[in-house]
Amino acid sequence: MRVIAPQERPRSWQDEKTATQHAWTLPFVFLEWSLAWTAYFLSNWKLLEVLEYLGSLSILVAVIFYFSESGDRTKQKHYQAWQVINTAQGKGGSGGRLEALQELNSDGVPLVGVDVSGAYLQTVRLPKARLVRANFSAADARMGDFRGGDFSEANLRGANFRGGNFSGAILQGSELEDADLVGADLSAADLSGASLGNADLRKTNLANIRWRDIAGIRSANIAGAQNAPDGFRAWALQNGAVEHETDSN
């Protein structure tokens, strides 16, 4: 805050004029002298000092209100994001859903039961997202980041997750029939109770997956699957999985 300090009283006009050496400069000297007296009077005017304090106080009040209302702004932002997702439900394309999902997840909002079936979500970033009972059926989420996400009981039928990252994800009871997981990273994923019928698991990283309680794997293609746990390949083939190197899609 700028402090208004009283200024020194200027000289009288007679003294100022006497001290002026050149007559042609008198108009300029008079202007300077007039401004000096104006500044002198204003510096002693307490109203200006009060107004200065009020200006600083108004800034402080504005800052307080800004932070006190931050919660309401966040709620409004989340409401708008959900509105984007719900309005585009059942439609193709992105429709702003990719950004809306990422925004909600980055703010720690659970995405339980979200329906993005058929949506275009390539390269979506949803690490540690809570997607319990979510519907990603027929969605295009290639190269998506779902590390540590919870997809328990989610519908992922026919979704394209090529090159996606599901490391450490929870896929308990999820429906992955006909899902495209070519080249995806499923390392340390929990597949207990998951249905993988006809899923494309070629070149998928299966390191340290929890697989012994998988509900079904008939016709799933495990050709070139990498880092599969001991016993997984034999079990999968015994339960109807296949190994076809060519891309049938």
The dihedrals phi and psi of 77, each to the nearest 5 degrees, come to -65, -45
Helix (H, G, I), strand (E, B) or coil at 102: helix
Taking 80 as the threshold, does the pLDDT of residue 12 lie above it? no
Please name the fold of domain 96-249.
Pectate Lyase C-like (2.160.20)
Question: CB of 225 within 8 A of CB of 203?
Answer: yes
Given pLDDT bands bounded at 50, 70 and 90, which one contains residue 60? low
Which has the minimum average pLDDT: 59-63, 131-135, 138-142, 220-224?
59-63
Q: What is the pLDDT of residues 153-212, one digit of tens each?
A: 999 999 999 999 999 999 999 999 999 999 999 999 999 999 999 999 999 999 999 999
Instruction: With 0.75 as the threshold, say if the pTM is over it.
Output: no
Q: What are the beta bridge partners of residue 140?
A: 120, 160
Give me the DSSP letters along 178-225.
Answer: T-B-TT-B-TT-B-TT-B-TT-B-TT-B-TT-B-TT-SB-TT-B-TT-
Per-residue pLDDT at 93:
85
Q: What is the pLDDT of residues 76-94, one digit of tens each?
A: 899 999 999 999 887 888 8
Integer Cα distance of 179 and 221 in angstroms: 11
pLDDT above 90: percentage of residues in the chain: 64
Cβ-defined contacts of 46-52 (< 8 Å, 24+): 48/4, 49/4, 52/1, 52/2, 52/3, 52/4
Average pLDDT of the chain, as a whole number: 86
Query: How many Å is the Cα radius of gyration of the chain?
Result: 35
Rounded alpha-carbon distances, angstroms, from residue 138 to 58, 64, 83: 54, 47, 21
Per-residue pLDDT at 150:
98
Per-residue pLDDT at 134:
97
Taking 70 as the threshold, does the pLDDT of residue 44 lie above it? no
Residue carrying structure tokens 């039961």? 113
> What is the average pLDDT across 100-119?
96
Per-residue pLDDT at 43:
65
Domains of the chain, by residue range, sit at 13-68, 96-249
Per-residue pLDDT at 66:
47
Taking 50 as the threshold, does the pLDDT of residue 226 lie above it? yes
Taking 80 as the threshold, does the pLDDT of residue 249 lie above it? no
